[in-house]
Amino acid sequence: MNRYTLFFILGIALVPLVSVAQGTDSATKKYNLPQEVTVTGSRIPDDGKNQRHTLVVVQRVDIERSQARSVEEVLRNVAGVDVRQRGGFGVQADISIRGGTFEQTLIMIDGVKMIDPQTGHHAMNIPLTLDDIERIEILKGPGSRQYGPNAFNGAVNIITRRHTRPAARVQAMGGENGLWEMSVSGGAPVNVGENVTLLNRASVQRRRSDGYRPFTDFDIWTIDGGAQLLAGDKFSLDASVNYVEKKFGGNGFYSLAYPSQYEETKTLFANIRANVDVGIPIRLTAAWRRNNDYFILKRENPAFYQNFHTSNTLSVEAQTTLTSSLGATALGAEYAADMLESTNLGNRQRTRFSVFAEHQIKPLDNVTVEIGATALYNSDWGWNLAPGADVGWQVTENLSLRASIANSFRIPSYTELFYSDRVTLGNSTIQPERAWTYEIGGRWREGIVDVQASIFRRDAVQLIDYVRSSTTALWQAQNLSSATTNGADVHLSISTRDVMPIVERITGSYTYLDPHFSVDAGLQSRYALDQLRHQAALVVDLRWFGLITNQWRFRYERRLNVAQDAGFVDVRLGWAGSGFELFAEATNLFSAPASDFAGLPLPGRWLRVGGAVNLAEALR
């Protein structure tokens, strides 16, 4: 721990250089959009007062300044979010929040669920480049009351960009281990009639590498296209089609006995959303997600063992919000069908139907109370109910307090139910997971300081995990009898730009977990007993000579049942002017040895450099 802290301090003292600072042109025509509000913690539009949830928002400027090359890398620097990577740069990662498993975190794009019925390992097959993302909202805590299954311990909502003025960006990047990346992105607003505007975006990106050790090569294509039609403040129509294709070596990804594993995934996501005001606001959504997964255990001999899986999820959702003297009420319903064709899991199909309701009242101007529930009918398990309530109190102008209680649940994936191979066995008798979570917290904002903290307790039953009785036995999916997790987290942000000549901002976060599991003596666990007990992140933004920005990221982790802690330092340097950008980045700067999974080492120091041209600015 001390060694990494020393490296961090020395690095800030010794390393100069550069980041992105884009200019603006007052003559450029801008189109006004309806005010966007953060609503991941609630289905009712929120005015930002009387905060009731632990919500972390990574803004566009944070994404641009970071060294991240994927959504996974952005999330990795948020304490309380456990990102366990099998391969860097968006190859494959499992996301969990507050000590849950990767199956217990709901991923959404613009509020549309990205649930994969085959396995949560595919939840982060995100068909977007970072250039397509406006912000990322992370709900830390149960979200089943708002969104139903899979938001067991939290949710991640990725909000896409809307180009309100012409934009065109070309970027190239190269680095160690044969790494290179090329991308083109942009969009332009079009005035198609009186008070009618069409916004659009498009991007294409390819990224590949020879890998940081044998059989960890990858080749990733990402294509995104979207449009939004705005007709005054009464109607809007959004449509997008997104695609990501990954081909990668999986040395030790699923079994250390077979280093030459290989996998290909192809994910297509299309959705259309309409917002119309007919006296009451109505939101209609239709979406289709398709994922192909091809897995080979021995790359040099595919016939030895291979699996083909194709999953399709079709969903429609309707929601409205009613306001009256009694408060605001959100009502809605969703219908979805999951279909799977698999050489290992068989051909499967199930449907789900849910209705949800939330009611928000303000008994006082500085107090907000919200109650709600989601009732889900699944064709395999029948009805499940997730109720909850929360309250927010703005005690003073600077201090707010909050409290919540919520129930959450999760439906098993087809892999947990039916998968079988030489080391793993599913279990068709397992039941949905359930939990009650209790939380209290507060936030203090004054001047340049913004700090929020919370403590929570989660009582879970029927948790699903893979367990075995010995090192020679098969891993089999089972419902653990119960688990209690106590925890606390703190988030701190200090905007020092106006008081310090070089340091612009310091942000930090820390999460502590103390889980207690009821597991039969002698059983080994694959996932549930390998959580982070301590996790801390620190980000320092510097600006040198008024032109050069420099971001340092420090991360510290310590897992349960692991004696050794891990510390990481990442750095980004860059320069921008007149539409041109140059940058240099390094992850794991001091090559700290660590593994997110036992026996699977993370990459050491990985250097890369690159540049970009913002054509709309360069040609002015």
- The 3-state secondary structure of 400-462 reads EEEEEEEEEEECCCHHHHHCECCCEECCCCCCCEEEEEEEEEEEEEECCEEEEEEEEEEEEEE
Query: What per-residue confidence (pLDDT) applies to 528?
Result: 63
Let me know: does 105 contact 269? Beta carbons within 8 Å: no
Instruction: Indicate whether 31 pLDDT > 60.
Output: no
Q: Return the structure tokens found at 539.
A: 């980000």
User: Which parts of 151-190 fold into alpha helices (H)?
Assistant: none
Instruction: Indicate whether 179 pLDDT > 90.
Output: yes
Query: What per-residue confidence (pLDDT) applies to 19?
Result: 29
Arithmetic mean of pLDDT, 22-46: 50
Instruction: Indicate whether 236 pLDDT > 90.
Output: yes
Phi/psi for 45 (5° steps) reads -50, 135
Query: What per-residue confidence (pLDDT) applies to 33?
Result: 37
Instruction: Indicate whether 36 pLDDT > 60.
Output: no
The three-point CA angle 240-241-242 to 5° equals: 120
Instruction: Indicate whether 175 pLDDT > 90.
Output: yes
Instruction: Indicate whether 65 pLDDT > 50.
Output: yes
Band (309; pLDDT cuts 50, 70, 90): very high
Coil/strand/helix, residue 72:
helix
Band (25; pLDDT cuts 50, 70, 90): very low
The three-point CA angle 69-70-73 to 5° equals: 90
Instruction: Indicate whether 206 pLDDT > 80.
Output: yes
Question: Pick the residue with more confidence: 531 or 135?
Answer: 135
What would the pLDDT profile of 4-21 be if each residue is shown by its tens digit? 333 333 333 333 222 222
What would the pLDDT profile of 360-382 be if each residue is shown by its tens digit? 999 998 999 999 999 999 999 99
Query: What per-residue confidence (pLDDT) applies to 562?
Result: 72
Query: What per-residue confidence (pLDDT) applies to 497?
Result: 83
Full set of structural domains in the chain with CATH: 2-618 (2.40.170.20)
Lowest-pLDDT choice from 25-34, 137-146, 324-333, 453-462: 25-34
Arithmetic mean of pLDDT, 557-573: 86
Query: What per-residue confidence (pLDDT) applies to 448?
Result: 93
Instruction: Indicate whether 437 pLDDT > 70.
Output: yes
Instruction: Indicate whether 418 pLDDT > 50.
Output: yes
Coil/strand/helix, residue 60:
helix
Band (471; pLDDT cuts 50, 70, 90): confident
Compute the mean pLDDT over every residue in the chain, rounded to the nearest whole number.
Answer: 88
Instruction: Indicate whether 34 pLDDT > 60.
Output: no
Query: What per-residue confidence (pLDDT) applies to 47?
Result: 63
Tell me which residue of 170, 202, 200, 173 sits closest to 183, measured CA to CA.
170
For residues 440 and 251, give the distance between their C-alpha atoms in angstroms, rounded to a whole number.
43
Dihedral (Cα; 570, 58, 64, 451), 10-degree rounding? -70
Query: What per-residue confidence (pLDDT) applies to 1?
Result: 40
Query: What per-residue confidence (pLDDT) applies to 323?
Result: 92
Let me know: does 373 contact 356? Beta carbons within 8 Å: yes
Let me know: does 511 contact 531? Beta carbons within 8 Å: no
Q: Return the structure tokens found at 154.
A: 């939290």
Tell me which residue of 230, 217, 20, 17 sits closest to 131, measured CA to CA.
20
The whole-model pTM stands at 0.90
Instruction: Indicate whether 333 pLDDT > 60.
Output: yes
Query: What per-residue confidence (pLDDT) applies to 599?
Result: 79
What would the pLDDT profile of 250-271 be if each residue is shown by its tens digit? 998 888 888 999 999 999 999 9
Let me know: does 261 contact 272? Beta carbons within 8 Å: no
Chain centroid to CA 525: 25
What would the pLDDT profile of 94-139 be if each residue is shown by its tens digit? 999 998 888 999 999 999 999 999 999 899 999 999 999 999 999 9
Band (44; pLDDT cuts 50, 70, 90): confident
Query: What per-residue confidence (pLDDT) applies to 195?
Result: 86
Lowest-pLDDT choice from 38-42, 203-207, 218-222, 388-392: 38-42
What would the pLDDT profile of 495-526 be if each residue is shown by its tens digit? 988 888 899 999 999 999 999 887 676 777 77
Query: What per-residue confidence (pLDDT) applies to 620?
Result: 66
For residues 178 and 198, give the distance between their C-alpha atoms in angstroms, rounded to a whole number.
40
Query: What per-residue confidence (pLDDT) applies to 68?
Result: 83
Query: What per-residue confidence (pLDDT) applies to 547?
Result: 85
Q: 3-class secondary structure for 481-504?
A: EEEEEEEEEEEEEEECCCCCCCEE
Let me know: does 345 contact 414? Beta carbons within 8 Å: yes
Let me know: does 539 contact 73? Beta carbons within 8 Å: no
Band (563; pLDDT cuts 50, 70, 90): low
For residues 146 and 409, give the distance between their C-alpha atoms in angstroms, rounded to a whole number.
12
